[in-house]
Amino acid sequence: MLRIAPVSGAGPLVQAMATAASGMSTQATRMRVAAENIANAQSTAAVPGGDPYRRKLVTFGQMVDRGTGAELVRLDNVRSDPRGFRTVYDPAHPAADERGYVKLPNVDPLIEQADMRTAARSYEASISVMQQARTLYSKTLDILRS
């Protein structure tokens, strides 16, 4: 793993806050994508035989902030899930193909809810890290003042 020495004055508290902030940002994106997936879980194609909404997946990467030396989480990619669609037989549906089957999104609302819950907990953990770092930073300033 690449480690870059922090710039003078950017201590562990600044690094912790930068890491927590990057985590909050990526988890917020993860929650937004899960909400979008849930909102489209029952959507169908606009044309007969067409493809419906395709589930989106979020992937993350890691990077080092050259200014602080903090290891950050970054949004790597938001891509479509390649899994196939579910189908139901409903010849009266406007999106039914010539055989009477309707393609439904490859979204499982239960999985999306679990993903959203996990992202929310990770977001809350990052908030906790930020609060602790801010408290430690404040106490350090108080000690330096006295």
Say if CB 30 and CB 115 are below 8 A apart. yes
Sequence-distant (6+) residues with CB within 8 A of 29 are: 58, 75, 78
The sign of the dihedral angle between the CA atoms of 6, 9, 12, 13 is: negative
Annotate the chain with DSSP letters as a single string: ----PPPTT--HHHHHHHHHHHHHHHHHHHHHHHHHHHHTTT---SSTT------EEEEEEEEE-TTT--EEEEEEEEEE--SPPEEEE-TTSTT--TTSEEEE-S--HHHHHHHHHHHHHHHHHHHHHHHHHHHHHHHHHHHHH-
Domain ranges in the chain? Answer: 12-145
Summarised one tens digit per residue, pLDDT across range 40-74 is 999 999 899 899 999 999 999 999 988 888 899 99
Mean pLDDT score of the chain: 90
Supply the pTM of this predicted model.
0.82
For residue 10, name the pLDDT band (cuts at 50, 70, 90): low
Instruction: Of 9-13, 77-81, 107-111, 126-130, give the lowest mean pLDDT range.
Output: 9-13
pLDDT of residue 146: 81
pLDDT of residue 8: 44
pLDDT of residue 117: 97
For residue 137, name the pLDDT band (cuts at 50, 70, 90): confident
The percentage of the chain sitting over the pLDDT mark of 70, rounded to a whole number, equals 93
